[in-house]
A and B are shown apart, each in its own frame.
Chain A
Amino acid sequence: MNRLSSAARRAVFAPLDTEAKVEAVARRLGDAIVLGLLADGEQLPGESELAALLGISTVTLREALMALRQQGLVATRRGRGGGTFVCAPADTLHDRLSQRLNAQTAEELRDLGDYYASIAGGIAGLAAERADRQDLDAPHRSLQDFAAAEDAATRARIDGRFHVEIAAAAQSARLTREEIRLQTEIGPLLCLPFMDAEVHRIANEQHRALLEAIAAGDAVRARSLAEDHVHDQVRHLIERRMEGAKAWPVEQVR
């Protein structure tokens, strides 16, 4: 039997999720830059500090920074006063997010929606059984903050917080962690539909109805409202994805 070369062995036994981590870190930082959470020209913490903050190795961080450099989202300057600096993208938030959305097929989005809806439905059902009045203070505040939010990025951020607070009211750490994970995946994309005032208005109504069902202890209704809400959100994304696709093949053919 052939012995694997030592380099090949190292590759075989390399931590399985390194690649996924590079991608996750690049996406997290990239989203923060695109959403304006990290300001243009801002200096990122040093490599070892940043790696420690994110809980990753410096090697993983360097790969993620390289990916961001290729996307033009950071620049690295050497020497005195050097470091890694944020380069706010010249194209708009709308364009960046559309690119991100168009990188997924409608089928992938549909599947993400199905998964998210079952998580959100389960969370809502449990919250209706377990939440007491005080547990709902936080989502009630978010409901009002969401209604008052004027720009898409704030709407997406508060929308995410609202759903995390409901997950916490369901008293499940696992489901809360899963909700947070799904938020990082889908949350920034929701900025696109939230640019539309009508989408924002309907989401607000859905949040209100969901919270009422949970407060009333109506698990069946809460579950179904939460599922419908997620399916609506994802349908907005798929519609935008398909609109994007209509312009595209013509360009491709030429």
Chain B
Amino acid sequence: MAGGAGAVSVGERAVAEAAAKVSEMLERVFATAQETGEQAARLLVRARARDRRLSSRDLTELQPLLRRQLARHIGLISGTGFVASPGLLADVPAWMEWWQTRVGGGVQPMLLDLDPATSAYSDYTHWDWYALPRDTGERAVSGPYVDYLCSDEYSLTLAVPVRLDGVFSGVAAADVYLRHFEAAAGPALAGIPGPAYLVNPRGRVAASNTPAHLAGSLVRDLDAASARGELLLHPCGEIPLVLVTEP
């Protein structure tokens, strides 16, 4: 590594700045999902306290918050909302209270056919953004992946579990289109002198400063390459993305 003991090279500083930038940006997205999750839980707990069965109508009060979130994070967050676990609500088999940006500007609610009798895509419980928070109890970054359920865009989805009385009841999440992520993270990556790219825990590249590792490609055997000293892995705060550089 360049730089003696105590000295910090230009490259090292650029790496630290890029990791901090990614962490700060995605923490903002997680904070948004967290805010949604907390309000969804409040609404549902209140409805349940009125001693009645939960209904999709109990979630309509989320809408002003979701619209505000999209307005506040233009160019970063393109979809936001709460996804109920199937069976939570009495009036529908499954439900997504979800808002997204419109192609020409403005926002719209997403209305999906979640009836298993008519839609081949009605079961959303297999998607990482649902399954990871459910199975680990922790927040999760899913993707990059092609979101053919909601937006048909290449996306990251950041999701947090929502619990009612300690029971997993769904996830609150926010979508970041990969092109927006790249636009935001790109300048910081470009400041790093050598090849540098961000990968998710499965080794999928999310953003990069080198054509050798473009977004969407897989870096296989990352840990082995790191153990051999061929690659350096830098954490991005608490965000489960790793910044990879070459020594």
| A interface residues (Cβ-Cβ under 8 A, vs B) | 37, 52-53, 130, 132, 134, 137-138, 141, 157-158, 160-161, 164-165, 167-168, 171-173, 176-177, 180
Q: Are B217 and A130 in contact (CB under 8 A)?
A: yes
Q: Are B218 and A132 in contact (CB under 8 A)?
A: yes
Chain A binding surface SS class: helix
What chain B residues lie within 8 Å of A130 (beta carbons)? 216-218
CA distance A173 to B146 in the complex (A): 6
Q: Are B152 and A180 in contact (CB under 8 A)?
A: yes
CB distance from A30 to the nearest CB of B (A): 15
CA distance A187 to B121 in the complex (A): 15
What chain A residues lie within 8 Å of B108 (beta carbons)? 52
What chain A residues lie within 8 Å of B145 (beta carbons)? 168, 171
CA distance A164 to B128 in the complex (A): 17
Count B-side interface residues using an 8 Å CB cutoff: 20
Q: Are B216 and A180 in contact (CB under 8 A)?
A: no
B 15-53 contacts with A by CB, 8 A: none
Identify which of B121, B128, B152, B154 contacts A171 (C-beta below 8 A).
Answer: B154
Identify which of A137, A158, A161, A168 contacts B146 (C-beta below 8 A).
Answer: A168
Given known contacts A168-B145, A171-B144, A172-B216, is B120 in contact with A158 (CB within 8 Å)? yes
Please provide the 10 A-B residue pairs with the shortest distance between their CB atoms, ordered closest to farther: A171-B216, A168-B146, A161-B120, A173-B154, A157-B120, A37-B118, A176-B146, A177-B152, A173-B146, A176-B148
What chain B residues lie within 8 Å of A137 (beta carbons)? 126
B 96-111 contacts with A by CB, 8 A: 108, 111
Q: Are A160 and B202 in contact (CB under 8 A)?
A: no
Closest to A141 in B: B126
Identify which of B111, B121, B148, B152 contacts A53 (C-beta below 8 A).
Answer: B111
Contact indicator per residue, chain B 210-225, by CB within 8 Å of chain A (1) or not (0): 0000001110000000
What chain A residues lie within 8 Å of B111 (beta carbons)? 53
Q: Are B204 and A132 in contact (CB under 8 A)?
A: yes
Q: Are B118 and A160 in contact (CB under 8 A)?
A: no
CB distance from A86 to the nearest CB of B (A): 13
CA distance A190 to B120 in the complex (A): 15
What chain A residues lie within 8 Å of B154 (beta carbons)? 171-173
What chain B residues lie within 8 Å of A177 (beta carbons)? 152
CB distance from A114 to the nearest CB of B (A): 24
CB distance from B208 to the nearest CB of A (A): 13
B 108-124 contacts with A by CB, 8 A: 108, 111, 118, 120-121
Identify which of B118, B121, B202, B203 contacts A161 (C-beta below 8 A).
Answer: B121
Known: A132-B204, A134-B128; 8 extra A-B contacts, CB below 8 A, are: A132-B218, A167-B146, A168-B146, A168-B148, A171-B216, A171-B217, A176-B152, A180-B152
CA distance A180 to B216 in the complex (A): 20
What chain B residues lie within 8 Å of A172 (beta carbons)? 146, 154, 216
CB distance from B77 to the nearest CB of A (A): 18
What chain B residues lie within 8 Å of A160 (beta carbons)? 120
Q: Are B203 and A132 in contact (CB under 8 A)?
A: yes
What chain A residues lie within 8 Å of B152 (beta carbons)? 173, 176-177, 180
